[in-house]
């Protein structure tokens, strides 16, 4: 029983000492980290019990503490930030090229009919952009005719654009082959030999 009481008293004494030391350390931290100090001179006094006191008044057996000037820092001016350029919002349209069917062969003159379907429906500010080689046609219509298509293999691209002409949906593409009628000229009539 006495042993437990003695252990308890020792424990209380050690906690008390720890609290005093924490106060001391806290006081030192406040002293050295404070941004503004009211007094120009600080004095340190060590008491007979070993505790240390800091004060702005000089006492017997006190010594002056040299305090460094507070380091200050002026942040540099940052350049003005520009607002990022607004990107065109892409909308997912499902564009299907109905005519000409992909990888089809068209025999005829130099004109083709293009027909597309789109889902969801285009708002009034959007159009289709039909591109065939260097030829470009912007229209709200789902059916258009393209002229002067020469013989060969071509890729038709259909995209959706906004009122500024910016592409808002990539759309679809279709490859087709254009052939024209070729009529072999008839051979000249044979000259008949008369005796």
Question: What is the average per-residue pLDDT within 98-114?
Answer: 82
- Give the mean pLDDT of 65-69: 78
Question: Mean pLDDT, to the nearest integer, of 83-109?
Answer: 77
| Average pLDDT over all residues of the chain | 76
List every span in the chain annotated with CATH 2.60.40.10. Answer: 94-179
Residue with tokens 């003159």: 109
**What would the mean pLDDT of 79-106 be, rounded to a whole number?**
78
pLDDT of the residue at 150 = 81
pLDDT attached to residue 39: 47
Q: Which of 7, 169, 156 is nearest to 95 (CA)?
A: 169
- Looking at residue 30, what is its pLDDT? 61
Q: What's the CATH fold of domain 94-179?
A: Immunoglobulin-like (2.60.40)
Q: Give 191 or 47, the one with higher predicted confidence.
A: 47
């Amino acid at each position: 029983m006495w042993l437990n009481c003695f252990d308890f008293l020792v424990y209380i004494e050690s906690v008390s000492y720890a609290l005093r030391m924490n106060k001391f350390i806290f006081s030192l931290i406040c002293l050295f980290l404070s941004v503004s100090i009211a007094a120009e001179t600080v004095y340190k006094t060590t008491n007979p019990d070993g505790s240390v006191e800091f004060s702005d008044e000089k006492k017997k057996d006190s010594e002056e503490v040299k305090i460094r000037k507070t380091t200050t820092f002026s942040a540099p001016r940052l350049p003005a930030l520009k607002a990022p350029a607004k990107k065109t919002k892409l909308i997912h349209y499902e564009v299907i090229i109905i005519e000409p069917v992909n990888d089809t062969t068209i025999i005829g003159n130099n004109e083709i009919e293009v027909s597309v379907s789109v889902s969801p429906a285009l708002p009034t500010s959007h159009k289709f952009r039909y591109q065939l080689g260097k030829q470009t046609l912007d229209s709200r219509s789902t059916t258009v005719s393209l002229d002067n298509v020469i013989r060969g293999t071509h890729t038709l691209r259909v995209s959706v654009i906004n009122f500024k002409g910016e592409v808002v949906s990539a759309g679809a593409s279709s490859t087709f082959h254009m052939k024209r009628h070729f009529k072999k000229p008839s051979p000249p009539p044979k000259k008949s030999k008369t005796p």
